Amino acid sequence: MRIAIVGGGPGGLYFAALMKQLDPAHRVTVWERNAPDDTFGFGVVFSDETLGGIENADPEFAAAVSDRFARWTDIDIHLRGRSHTVGGQGFAALGRRELLRLLQERCLGLGVDLRFGTPAPDTAELCASHDLVVAADGANSLVRQAYAEEFRPALDTRRNKYMWLGTDLVFEAFQFFVKETEWGTMQVHGYPYSDSGSTFIVELPEDVWRRAGFDTADAAGLPPGVSDEPAVERIRGVFAEELDGHRLLANNSKWLTFTTVRNERWHHGNLVLLGDAAHTAHFSIGSGTKLAMEDSLALAACLHEHPDLPGALTAYEAERRPVVESTQRAAQASLEWFENLGMYVDQEPTRFCFNLLTRSRRITYDNLRTRDPQFADRVSAAFAEAQGAAEVVPAMFQPFRLGQLELKNRVVVSPMDMYSAVDGVPGDFHLVHLGSRAMGGAGLVMTEMVCVSPEGRITPGCTGLWTDGQQDAWRRIVSYVHARTTARIGLQLGHSGRKGSTRLMWEGMDAPLAEGNWEVVGPSALPYGPGSAVPREVTRADMDRITTEFTAAARRGAEAGFDLLELHCAHGYLLSSFLSPLANRRTDAYGGPLENRLRFPLEVFDAVRAVWPADRPMIVRISATDWAPDGNTEHDAVGIARAFVEHGADAIDVSTGQVTKDERPAYGRSYQTPFADRIRHEVAARAGAAVIAVGAIASWDDVNSILLAGRADLCALGRTHLYDPQWTLHAAAEQDYRGPAADWPLPFRAGSRKPPTARTDAVRPRLSLLRAEHDDRAVHLRWTPHREPAPVP
* Contacts of 309-314 spanning 24+ positions with Cβ under 8 A: 309/131, 309/132, 309/270, 313/266, 313/267, 313/272, 314/267
- pLDDT of the residue at 668: 87
Is residue 249 within 8 Å of residue 197, measured between CB atoms?
yes
- pLDDT of the residue at 771: 43
Q: How far is CA 511 from CA 227, 424, 589, in A?
A: 59, 20, 32
How many CA atoms does the CB half-sphere of 88 hold within 13 Å? Answer: 18
Query: Whole-model pTM?
Result: 0.93
- pLDDT of the residue at 786: 64
- Burial label for 612, CB within 10 Å (0-12, 13-18, 19+), is buried
Instruction: State how far the Cα of 335 lies from the Cα of 360, in Å rounded to an integer.
Output: 8
Is residue 683 within 8 Å of residue 375, measured between CB atoms?
no
- pLDDT of the residue at 525: 97
The β-bridge partners of 653 are: 621, 692
- pLDDT of the residue at 685: 86
Q: Which of 532, 712, 708 is nearest to 619 (CA)?
A: 712
Query: In angstroms, how far is the first alpha carbon of the chain from the final one?
Result: 60
The β-bridge partners of 566 are: 492, 619
Instruction: State how far the Cα of 220 lies from the Cα of 351, in Å rounded to an integer.
Output: 39
Output the CA torsion sign for 334, 336, 339, 343: negative
SS3 636: helix
Q: How many residues are listed for the chain in this entry?
A: 793
Catalytic site residues? 573
- pLDDT of the residue at 751: 87
Residues of the chain with confidence (pLDDT) below 50: 766, 768-774, 788-793
Non-local CB neighbours of 541 within 8 Å, separated by 6+ positions: none
Instruction: State how far the Cα of 594 lies from the Cα of 625, in Å rounded to an integer.
Output: 13
Instruction: State how far the Cα of 265 lies from the Cα of 273, in Å rounded to an integer.
Output: 9
The β-bridge partners of 174 are: 75
- pLDDT of the residue at 769: 45
- pLDDT of the residue at 161: 97
315-329 as b/e, with b when 16 or more CB fall inside 10 Å?
bbbebbeeebbebbb
